[in-house]
Structure 1
Amino acid sequence: MISQVSAFLENKPGRLEMVLQILSDNEINLRSISVAETTDYGIFRLILDRPKEAVEKLKAANFVVKETDVLAIEIDDTKGALLYSIKELAENDISIEYTYTCLPIDNEKVVIILRVDEMERAQKILESSKNCRLLAPEDMQ
């Protein structure tokens, strides 16, 4: 499992810039960003090379942040590749809460971030999968 940092930001100009500036000032590398929007605020989901430090720095700047475990899988960059990994989870009654892409580690692969309802079971299934490679925190650095 890897750590995802979620920052809850008001829908105001410059709020995302402030978060990115804090990350940049502390040389924290952004690997992926996903935004879920509501009327009043956005939830920015971030995959970072140093998530614990990012949480500390963002909280110190009065941002509301949360760290969540997610799974990162590496799949071939071919048609249908994601289907096979998702199918394995579905066949084991594991529900996907959300998913998004991440910067690739290798240009011939795609990295997918998954948040599922049963993280431990999903991790075991994906560890033994022939359709993907489950990534570790050190792979995201």
Structure 2
Amino acid sequence: MKIKQISVFLENKSGRLAAVTRLLAGHGINIRALSIADTSDFGILRLIVDDPDRAYTELKGAGFTVSLTEVLGVEMPDRPGGLSNILSILEENGINIEYLYAFIGRGDNGALVIFRVEELDAAIDVLQARGITVLDGEKIYRL
């Protein structure tokens, strides 16, 4: 139920993001979702890819500052209140969200949200207990 996320520390200068995506493409690694947070000096690129272990190895080998982080993938209805319901469940159980990003699923009118939470196992347990679909990494990697 846990998903491996790649985080890459990037200097905020022209071409750095292109270099990451070019390297991944050159090794046949497909990006499934991404998020980037930046300041004036640097950014953190967060990626879900179809082969996270190989992506980590290739990025590290190319000199990028990279880490693997476990995150949570949740499927929810793509309608008003879908995200609010998930957030309410986590709030009720005292689970803090560090960050999240979302993307629309294919064909089933659903949305997928990637969460980084402080208590990953507890979050999985409470969400599943409330009937929320928590996706395993292999399903996300194959999207």
Shorter-chain TM-score above 0.5: yes
C-alpha contact 2:78 2:104 (8 A) present in aligned 1: no
The root-mean-square deviation of aligned C-alpha atoms, in Å, is: 1.2
Q: How many angstroms does 1:103 deviate by?
A: 4.9
Q: Which residue pairs with 1:125 in the alignment?
A: 126
Instruction: Single out whichever of 99-108 and 69-78 deviates more from structure 2.
Output: 99-108
The answer to whether residue 135 in structure 2 is matched with residue 135 in structure 1 is: yes
- The percent of aligned pairs where both chains have the same amino acid is 40
Q: Which residue pairs with 2:45 in the alignment?
A: 44
1:92-130 residue CA offsets vs partner (Å, 9 max, x unmatched): 000111010135244410000001111110011122222
C-alpha contact 1:31 1:102 (8 A) present in aligned 2: no
Q: How many angstroms does 1:22 deviate by?
A: 0.9
1:43-102 residue CA offsets vs partner (Å, 9 max, x unmatched): 000011111100000001000001000000010111101111111110000011101013
1:2-26 residue CA offsets vs partner (Å, 9 max, x unmatched): 0110000111111111100111111
C-alpha contact 1:99 1:115 (8 A) present in aligned 2: yes
What amino acid is the match of 2:139?
D
Q: Which residue pairs with 2:82 in the alignment?
A: 81
Q: Which residue pairs with 1:92 in the alignment?
A: 93
C-alpha contact 1:76 1:110 (8 A) present in aligned 2: yes
Q: Which residue pairs with 1:109 in the alignment?
A: 110
Name segments (4+ residues, structure 1) moved above 4 Å.
none
What amino acid is the match of 1:83?
S
Q: Which residue pairs with 2:72 in the alignment?
A: 71
For structure 1, list consecutive stretches of 5 or more residues without a partner in the other structure.
none
What amino acid is the match of 2:133?
R
1:56 and 1:137 map into 2 onto residues whose CA distance is 18
For structure 2, list consecutive stretches of 5 or more residues without a partner in the other structure.
none
1:49 and 1:126 map into 2 onto residues whose CA distance is 24
What amino acid is the match of 1:126?
L
